[in-house]
Structure 1
Amino acid sequence: MRDTDTQTTRPEYTRQLEAIVESSTDAILVKDTEGRYQFANEAAASFLDREVDDMLGRTDRELFGAEVARELRDRERRVLDDETTATFEEALPVDDGERVFETTCSPYYDSSGDLAGTVSICRDVTEREVRERTLKDQRDELATLDRINEVAQEVVRTLIGEPSREEIERAVCDRLVETELYKTAWVGEPDPADEKMTELVGAGLNDAVHSLVEIIDVSEESAGPAARAYHGGEPQVIDDVGNDETLPAEMQAGLLDLGYNSGIVVPIRYGDTTYGLLGVGTERQSAFSQREVDAFDVLGEVIGFAIGAVKHRRLALSDTVVELTFRLTDRDSFYVAASEQLDCTVRLEGMTAGPAGRLLFYDAVSGTDPDAIFEFAEDWDGVENVRLVSEHGDEALFEFTMSGSSLVLTLSEHGAKTKAATSENGEGTVVAELPSDADVRSVVERVRAKYPGVELAAKRETERDLQTAREFRRDLDQRLTDAQRTALRASYFAGYYEWPRDSTAEEVAEALGISSPTFHQHIRKAQQELLAAFFDRNGDRP
């Protein structure tokens, strides 16, 4: 008990209470039992972008609308009915969006002890909520990226089991839908004849979705996301189906009826060839972050790589092949133009991957001076570097570093192996092999679509001259001299090819009783014969 002389008088107590309320950084609100505001401090008015006088005597419905008011009133009724204190989070609309409050709501009573309404103390936790929401979004995004990456890894793992193209595509669609992040996933390939989607596989498809996908137009004249993805080589996102003006009206209405709000279309490509499209749909709006788009882009490349591997494996294991001979007179071809303008013959010796997506072509050129090749290539788009490798009489071997597309590359990406390629007198000839069960018509149509100047000059089915492992070893053994074979075996068993080396060249030479230069001569020739036997056997040298 305090001494009455020191007790605060009621007016002074009231002033102190008012000072505390007005200086509080938390919003303090008082409502009657009907939900009308009886009091609001300055902090409350400031948070809600309103004046105090504008709030008094009004209800939440008048201030915030029916939907928000219904939620607020339900909570307050529970407080009034139970006559207990409750703490909860609530979001209120303001001019620049919404604010989130942690609110403690209690009943209050009049001087007679009757229930008079509620008093609420509201702490602004918007920044905390934003941080927590951001962290949750980041966690969700990382989980999504992990799932997409798992799908990509599974595609690579499936190659061990020698799957078909359809099995790869179906597995991708199944795994994406199984994540429950996406409602539908499909893979389709445009028909070269009418550029509509065909050969469709997918997961979560019904007849209505199937019909919508089949009317997708991927012609260059189309402005739709599928056409942009197919020709542009980059994923295209539909953030809001209802407001995407590039979607045809029939497609837009159909997707909305089926409950789709956003989607992504991803090109499935390998090198310079696009095999088809991967489409994914979801009920969520704006569902695809940039990192998710990037992950889908990588997934499209992985699927394309897998399809390319399947095509090449089919050719490698095929006893019977279809041999196609293409003829081209297109002056936009570097080799065709060079053969005409320099009056020379160009013969492809081999090709391999170079740095940064470039290709290295090794071509034998006869009938012209090497300097003329350097001058001709200097201003030619797509030829990034030229190097003279060797000269033998009238013939010179060049290494060309090329960027962009080529007929040989396109054939390779469609599973064909180039056997020979020559250009002479302004005309090029390319002979390629496809597995006997390949869709030859589709490959030819795609080549013609990409290179209008190319003609199919001949087509025939032939048996491949396959070599067994025993025949390969016998052939290699016949290529090597006794000295080369001895040097090769000794250097192998002595660990000369280990890293770091177990034995030096000098040590192996000493063991063989020969000089170091002689050892290097034998081993270099043996390695050359070994590589020649391998690449000739695998058809890497036309």
Structure 2
Amino acid sequence: MSEPDTRTPLPEYTRQLEAIVESSTDAILVKDVEGRYRFANEAAAEFLGRDADDLIGKTDRELFGEETAAELRDHERTVLDGEETATFEESLPMDDGERVFETTCSPYYDREGDLAGTVSICRDVTERTVRERTLEDQRDELATLDRINEVSQGIIRALIGEPGREEIAQAVCDRLVETELYQTAWVGEPDPANEKMADVVGAGLNDEIRSLVEIIDASEGSGEPAAIAYHEGEPQVIDDVENDETLPPEMQRGLLDLGYYSGIIVPIRYGDTTYGLLGVGTERRSAFSQREVDAFDVLGDVIGFAIGAVKHRRLALSDTVVELTFRLTDSDSFYVAASEQLGCTLRLEGMAAGPDGSLLFYDAVSGVDSEAVFEFAEDWDAIENVRLVSDHGDEALFEFTVTGSSVVLTLSEFGAKTKDATSEGGEATVVAELPSDADVRSVVERVRAKYPGAELVAKRETERDFQSAREFRRDFDQRLTDAQRTALRASYFAGYYEWPRDSTAEDVAEALGVSSPTFHQHIRKAQRELLGAFFDRNGDRP
């Protein structure tokens, strides 16, 4: 007795196979050797946004265009030539954007055993691919940030050798190009005479790139990225050189000819002072993520701090200084206008850093009622706040919170220290000290660029009057009365200045045999003499 035949009849087997193919969520496609579609299941039709019957007889060129079709045909040719199954990752343009498929392609044969075409099973892996690419981008971004941080740390270490501006700038550019993320980096400063880039140093600079850098127009209102970065204090990213409308045509052509497709320009600043610009170019497109831009912003501050520290260190350690005296008559200066319209005299007593990048100016004002000063200052945007510190009738001390530009701030960009500033009768006289090796011409041009009515009326070299620590202590001691000296010594040794205090004011007063108010009077006057001796000696009080 023979075994029963359990094989599925061919028509029923075919129906089952068709059901499996049509219920599949993966796209299943059959093409002949010429690349024409012979079959597509419903999933494939849904992915492609067409009816399945509309796909029959079509080619990839008709559906996707020449570029995509060429890539798909290369994959199929690999399978047909090798007559082996292969898996590819393919990107296809869809109505809702680009989709990524993992395609397993196999050869198929006709009944005679001849190669007839390919069968492809395509799985949509767009979301997985996006996740993988995002993770890869994040890894690349973190690696980039690590390299930028290494540059910042290198700059800080370089400060130990007390380099100059050029050495700092060169070190920054060298380190950036050494990362191989960027092909060129430069540091420059707008020339006060024409606002073009001057004093350019860098790495990866050839003659063509240098000539492009030197035609950058950083003048306010030019609209170029460098101008915006310099005057607004924010990094400017050029994501796509070819289509960036802020770049002059000559600049675009030059950069594209050299193979540069994106870049960033960063202000080099510290506080309210901008020392120049850092420019970086790369052959990569859209190379700068927001976190990378933020890192460059911090790098600009680090470089600005380094350059500023060098300028001020040179002034502090220089035996010989250059003293410049300017006369200003520009009516758009608050101090010039106030002295003329109020008929008063303003004398700068001292300065300090204020909140949010502002400066606190302490000015002695005479010849006018205090209320008139308040009313006049209300009309000036650069004066954020006015406070009356003290009023002695014939003269009052005001605290002005200044947020706009000032000649004092302009001079500080060059490491200058203002010794004296007085305004009277619509004319301001400002005396400043600079290091002996300072570029006086650049200083004068920068002041005149800000204040066209400024005039250099005197320039002289002078020796600085240094005082040893022993001389300082001796001079300070001579400024104290016996009672002040006793109160200061007793309070110091009794731990009055510790935190928390070891002794209260009442404890020290009782030990000295004086009342608490008397002790406070002595100690406050002694502290005033100490601070006065320090700040007057260090030039912080003109």
Same fold by TM (over 0.5)? yes
Give 3-state SS (helix, strand or coil) of 2:446's partner.
Answer: helix
Q: Indicate if the aligned counterparts of 2:263 and 2:282 stay in contact, CA closer than 8 A.
A: yes
Match of 2:224 in 1: 224
Give 3-state SS (helix, strand or coil) of 1:385's partner.
Answer: strand
Q: Indicate if the aligned counterparts of 2:383 and 2:404 stay in contact, CA closer than 8 A.
A: no
Match of 1:348 in 2: 348
1:373 Cα deviation from its structure 2 partner: 1.8
Cα–Cα, structure 1 residues 162 and 509, in superposed 2: closer, same or farther, change >3 Å?
Answer: farther
1:350 Cα deviation from its structure 2 partner: 0.5
Amino acid of the structure 1 residue aligned with 2:205: L
Q: Which moved more, 1:391-400 or 1:343-352?
A: 391-400
Written as runs of structure 1 = structure 2, the 5 A alignment for 1:40-59 is 40-59=40-59
Q: Distance between the aligned counterparts of 2:512 and 2:4, measured in 1? A: 117
Amino acid of the structure 2 residue aligned with 1:339: S
Cα–Cα, structure 1 residues 140 and 504, in superposed 2: closer, same or farther, change >3 Å?
Answer: farther
Cα–Cα, structure 1 residues 415 and 16, in superposed 2: closer, same or farther, change >3 Å?
Answer: same
Match of 2:480 in 1: 480
Q: Distance between the aligned counterparts of 1:370 and 1:490, measured in 2? A: 41
Match of 2:435 in 1: 435
Q: Which moved more, 1:29-38 or 1:447-456?
A: 29-38
- The yes-or-no answer on 1:423 pairing with 2:449 is no
Match of 1:316 in 2: 316
Q: Indicate if the aligned counterparts of 1:496 and 1:504 stay in contact, CA closer than 8 A.
A: yes
Q: Distance between the aligned counterparts of 1:139 and 1:489, measured in 2? A: 60
Match of 1:60 in 2: 60
1:5 Cα deviation from its structure 2 partner: 7.4
Q: Distance between the aligned counterparts of 2:137 and 2:90, measured in 1? A: 20
Give 3-state SS (helix, strand or coil) of 1:379's partner.
Answer: coil
Q: Indicate if the aligned counterparts of 2:381 and 2:404 stay in contact, CA closer than 8 A.
A: no
1:402 Cα deviation from its structure 2 partner: 1.9
Written as runs of structure 1 = structure 2, the 5 A alignment for 1:377-396 is 377-396=377-396
1:412 Cα deviation from its structure 2 partner: 1.8
Q: Which moved more, 1:411-420 or 1:50-59?
A: 50-59
Q: Distance between the aligned counterparts of 2:55 and 2:274, measured in 1? A: 62
Amino acid of the structure 1 residue aligned with 2:360: L
Cα–Cα, structure 1 residues 52 and 347, in superposed 2: closer, same or farther, change >3 Å?
Answer: same
- The yes-or-no answer on 1:408 pairing with 2:414 is no
Amino acid of the structure 2 residue aligned with 1:384: E
For 1:380-402, what per-residue CA distance to the aligned partner results, in whole angstroms no more than 9, with x for missing partners?
A: 33222222212335111111122
Q: Distance between the aligned counterparts of 2:501 and 2:115, measured in 1? A: 92
Q: Which moved more, 1:497-506 or 1:346-355?
A: 497-506
Q: Which moved more, 1:232-241 or 1:456-465?
A: 232-241
1:319 Cα deviation from its structure 2 partner: 1.1
1:115 Cα deviation from its structure 2 partner: 4.3
Q: Indicate if the aligned counterparts of 1:270 and 1:413 stay in contact, CA closer than 8 A.
A: no
1:340 Cα deviation from its structure 2 partner: 2.1
Give 3-state SS (helix, strand or coil) of 1:188's partner.
Answer: strand
1:462 Cα deviation from its structure 2 partner: 1.2
Match of 2:257 in 1: 257
Match of 2:203 in 1: 203
1:61 Cα deviation from its structure 2 partner: 4.2
Q: Distance between the aligned counterparts of 1:313 and 1:209, measured in 2? A: 33
Give 3-state SS (helix, strand or coil) of 2:400's partner.
Answer: strand
For 1:351-382, what per-residue CA distance to the aligned partner results, in whole angstroms no more than 9, with x for missing partners?
A: 11111222111111122222222222233332
Q: Indicate if the aligned counterparts of 2:410 and 2:446 stay in contact, CA closer than 8 A.
A: no
Q: Distance between the aligned counterparts of 1:378 and 1:37, measured in 2? A: 79
Q: Distance between the aligned counterparts of 1:9 and 1:500, measured in 2? A: 98
Match of 1:458 in 2: 458
For 1:16-60, what per-residue CA distance to the aligned partner results, in whole angstroms no more than 9, with x for missing partners?
A: 211111121110112334443322111112212333234333443
1:260 Cα deviation from its structure 2 partner: 0.7
Give 3-state SS (helix, strand or coil) of 1:89's partner.
Answer: strand
Written as runs of structure 1 = structure 2, the 5 A alignment for 1:104-143 is 104-143=104-143
Q: Distance between the aligned counterparts of 2:143 and 2:510, measured in 1? A: 60
Amino acid of the structure 2 residue aligned with 1:457: V
Give 3-state SS (helix, strand or coil) of 2:286's partner.
Answer: coil
Q: Distance between the aligned counterparts of 1:78 and 1:102, measured in 2? A: 16
1:413 Cα deviation from its structure 2 partner: 2.5
Match of 1:295 in 2: 295
> Structure 1: any 5+ residue segments left out of the alignment?
none
Q: Distance between the aligned counterparts of 1:138 and 1:403, measured in 2? A: 39
Q: Distance between the aligned counterparts of 2:389 and 2:284, measured in 1? A: 58
Q: Indicate if the aligned counterparts of 1:365 and 1:398 stay in contact, CA closer than 8 A.
A: yes
Q: Distance between the aligned counterparts of 1:501 and 1:267, measured in 2? A: 45
Q: Indicate if the aligned counterparts of 2:87 and 2:104 stay in contact, CA closer than 8 A.
A: yes
Q: Distance between the aligned counterparts of 1:287 and 1:536, measured in 2? A: 51
Cα–Cα, structure 1 residues 111 and 206, in superposed 2: closer, same or farther, change >3 Å?
Answer: same
Give 3-state SS (helix, strand or coil) of 2:386's partner.
Answer: strand
Q: Distance between the aligned counterparts of 1:103 and 1:112, measured in 2? A: 27
Match of 2:38 in 1: 38
| TM norm structure 1 | 0.92
Q: Indicate if the aligned counterparts of 2:83 and 2:107 stay in contact, CA closer than 8 A.
A: yes
Cα–Cα, structure 1 residues 251 and 86, in superposed 2: closer, same or farther, change >3 Å?
Answer: same
Q: Indicate if the aligned counterparts of 1:367 and 1:395 stay in contact, CA closer than 8 A.
A: yes
For 1:85-120, what per-residue CA distance to the aligned partner results, in whole angstroms no more than 9, with x for missing partners?
A: 333322123234321112222333444555443322
Q: Distance between the aligned counterparts of 1:81 and 1:380, measured in 2? A: 81
Match of 1:497 in 2: 497
1:131 Cα deviation from its structure 2 partner: 2.2
Q: Indicate if the aligned counterparts of 1:329 and 1:453 stay in contact, CA closer than 8 A.
A: yes
Counting aligned pairs with the same residue, the percent is 84
Amino acid of the structure 2 residue aligned with 1:306: A
> Structure 2: any 5+ residue segments left out of the alignment?
none
1:210 Cα deviation from its structure 2 partner: 1.5
Q: Distance between the aligned counterparts of 2:503 and 2:153, measured in 1? A: 39
Q: Indicate if the aligned counterparts of 1:272 and 1:404 stay in contact, CA closer than 8 A.
A: no
Q: Which moved more, 1:97-106 or 1:267-276?
A: 267-276
1:441 Cα deviation from its structure 2 partner: 0.7
| TM norm structure 2 | 0.92
Q: Indicate if the aligned counterparts of 1:271 and 1:413 stay in contact, CA closer than 8 A.
A: no
Cα–Cα, structure 1 residues 482 and 221, in superposed 2: closer, same or farther, change >3 Å?
Answer: closer
Q: Which moved more, 1:397-406 or 1:269-278?
A: 269-278
Give 3-state SS (helix, strand or coil) of 2:263's partner.
Answer: strand
